[in-house]
Amino acid sequence: MVRLNKWPFPAAVGMFFILTAVLVLAGCTTQEDAAGEKADAEEAVLYVGDEPISEAEYKMLAEEYSNQIYMQYTTEQVNRDDFWQTEEDGTAPWELLDELVQEELRYNYALKNLAVEYSVIENYTYQELLETREQENTSRAQTIDSEDGTVYGLTDFDEQTYYKYWYSNLETQVTNALIDNEVSVTEDECRAYYDANPEEFSYETGVTIFYAEFPYTEESRTESEAQAQRMKKAMESTDSISELREAFPDISIQELTLNSLDTQEGKSGVYSNRWQTASQMSEGDTYGPYEDNGMICVMKCVDRTDNGSIEFDEVKSRIERYLQVQDAQKIISGTEEELAIKPGNISPEDIIISLKQGN
């Protein structure tokens, strides 16, 4: 399971479709479905809280995490027929794998319980989750065959990938629900975090630049280069962007504040060359014309700061979001800790041993 990163990402494309599918499936449970679920519960591998875990779900996770166990042993040990049952330091490999699976299940079912509690989704079974996978795959296949034909991400999910995709999205949805309903972060708390972690908001290099781009075709290239040269001369004679804009009303001139910590273009992206150049300039320097991303470009450095820091007001909203996510994660972790694991009627050891046998 991929846990939340320090700065959280938005839910992946397609979440609305999946959650809607579960709402429909959960709302359409028939008496026959209920009887089937009861039968499934009687054949559970284990229980997470009151939720039975089917053999199919347990085996899927065991297969996914088995490589993590194999990597802890030599090839000779792994190739033994009794590998999963052979104890090392009092613990058999199957027990280590069972622990990984249980950890994953507890976290996922904590998310699921909170999602139901906060009306993100209605409850669902693993079988219903697999049915939404089929619907998602069908939808993506139809989209590929359509006139638009644009699909973001995978074109087809296997069970393991879809399971991770589902719970990663559900984690985001639950986090947002907890932030909306349970989490409150004050400006004083944000300020305290800012003051206590200055290294997170400090940068080595910061520059403010004037930047102009001149589009061109092969026929207009000479004229665009001449315009860029005139712009460079104008930049050399003034530090006023309003004067430049008045002198060149048809040209887009930007004033950009960039630094080595907080600029997306600083480390990657289509403007990485612009940052590499700007970061080497001193106050008053001009550069260009030069060609980048199909444009003729000119820039001037109007301010440079070394070993600076980002002001609190610029990062307050991100700090607030970070603290909110941390508080939401504490609630998720607390719910996870409250979920007791109880054995069912199917042996986890037998399932894991069957993996070695290729079943």
* pLDDT at res. 52: 96
Give me the pLDDT at residue 4, please: 35
For the beta carbon of residue 105, count every other beta carbon within 10 angstroms: 24
Task: Report in angstroms the alpha-carbon separations of 247 from 9, 192, 208, 214, 230.
Answer: 42, 46, 21, 15, 10
- d(CA 97, CA 68) in angstroms, rounded, equals 8
Work out the number of other CB atoms within 10 angstroms of the CB of residue 338.
11
Structure tokens at 164: 């991770």
Q: Identify the helix (H) or strand (E) that includes residue 60.
A: helix 55-70
Q: How far apart are CA 9 and CA 2, in angstroms?
A: 12
Tokens 């694991």 -> residue: 341
Neighbours of 56 (CB within 10 A): 14
Asked if 312 and 289 touch (Cβ cutoff 8 Å), the reply is: no
Pairing state between β 46-48 and 51-53: antiparallel
What was the pLDDT predicted at 329? 97
> What local confidence, expressed as pLDDT, does residue 31 receive?
46
| Angular region, 98: left φ>0, alpha ψ -120 to 50, beta rest | alpha
Fill in the amino acid letter for 110: A
Residues 126/132, Cβ–Cβ less than 8 Å: no
Q: What is the pLDDT of residue 1?
A: 38
How many angstroms separate the CA atoms of 76 and 156, rounded?
36
In sequence order, the 6+-apart residues with CB closer than 8 A to the CB of 213 are 252, 295, 296, 297
| Token duo for residue 248 | 């060149």
Reading phi first (left if > 0) and then psi (alpha if -120 to 50, else beta), residue 285 is in beta
pLDDT at 289: 95
Tell me where in the chain the CATH 3.10.50.40 domain(s) lie. Answer: 198-309
Residue pair 132/22 in contact by the 8 Å Cβ criterion: yes
Give residue 139's pLDDT: 78
Q: What is the pLDDT of residue 155?
A: 73
On the CB side of 317, CA atoms within 13 Å amount to 1
Dist. CA 121–CA 25, nearest whole Å:
11
Say what the pLDDT of residue 152 is: 65
Cα(238)–Cα(13) distance, integer angstroms:
47
Contacts of 87 (CB under 8 A, 6+ apart): none
Give the pLDDT of residue 218: 86
Please choose, from the candidates 176, 142, 170, the residue with its C-alpha nearest in 3D space to the C-alpha of residue 156: 142
Q: Which residue has the tokens 């060609």?
A: 291
Distance CA 142, CA 353 (A): 39
Helix or strand (DSSP H, E) at 295:
strand 295-309
Per-residue DSSP letter, 5: P
Instruction: Give the pLDDT of residue 147.
Output: 59
Tokens 């998720």: give the residue.
332
Q: pLDDT tens track of the chain, all 359 residues?
A: 333 333 333 333 344 444 544 444 444 444 445 444 444 556 899 999 999 999 999 999 999 999 999 999 999 999 999 999 999 999 999 999 999 999 999 999 999 999 999 999 999 999 999 998 888 888 777 777 665 666 566 777 889 999 999 999 999 999 999 999 999 999 999 999 999 999 999 999 999 999 999 999 888 899 999 999 999 999 999 999 999 999 999 998 999 999 988 765 545 567 788 898 999 999 999 999 999 888 999 999 999 999 999 999 999 999 999 999 999 999 999 999 999 999 999 999 999 999 864 44
Closest C-alpha to 300, from 315, 287, 291? 287
pLDDT of residue 273: 86
3-state secondary structure (DSSP) of residue 259? strand
CATH class assigned to 198-309 = alpha beta
